[in-house]
Amino acid sequence: MKNLRLKAARAGLDLSQDDLAKVCGVSRQTISAIEKGDYNPTINLCIAICKALNKTLDELFWE
């Protein structure tokens, strides 16, 4: 399932996938795969993404 909430939050802060990846310590391809729904990130990566985007886990990853 695509993660459109993550993509929208990233775009809302005017961050590229590469920018977010650098902040979180992963590759751009990892962020792309998460947004496409092709990769299920670890809880630690989810937390890092949330901190970088100033969002909660509920807002980005859980329905």
Please give the residue range of the domain that contains residue 26. 4-56
Answer yes or no: is 44 within a domain: yes
Answer yes or no: is 39 within a domain: yes
Q: From residue 56, how far is each of 5, 6, 29 by CA, in Å?
A: 11, 11, 23
What is the SS3 string spanning 10-56? HHHCCCCHHHHHHHHCCCHHHHHHHHHCCCCCCHHHHHHHHHHHCCC
Number of domains within the chain: 1
Answer yes or no: is 62 within a domain: no
- Return the CATH number at 28: 1.10.260.40
Answer yes or no: is 9 within a domain: yes
How would you write the pLDDT of the chain (63 residues) with one tens digit per residue? 889 999 999 999 999 999 999 999 999 999 999 999 999 999 999 999 999 999 999 999 987
Q: Report the pLDDT value the prediction gives residue 13, as an integer from 0 to 100.
A: 96
Answer yes or no: is 63 within a domain: no
Q: Report the pLDDT value the prediction gives residue 20, as an integer from 0 to 100.
A: 98
Answer yes or no: is 61 within a domain: no
Q: Report the pLDDT value the prediction gives residue 14, as an integer from 0 to 100.
A: 97
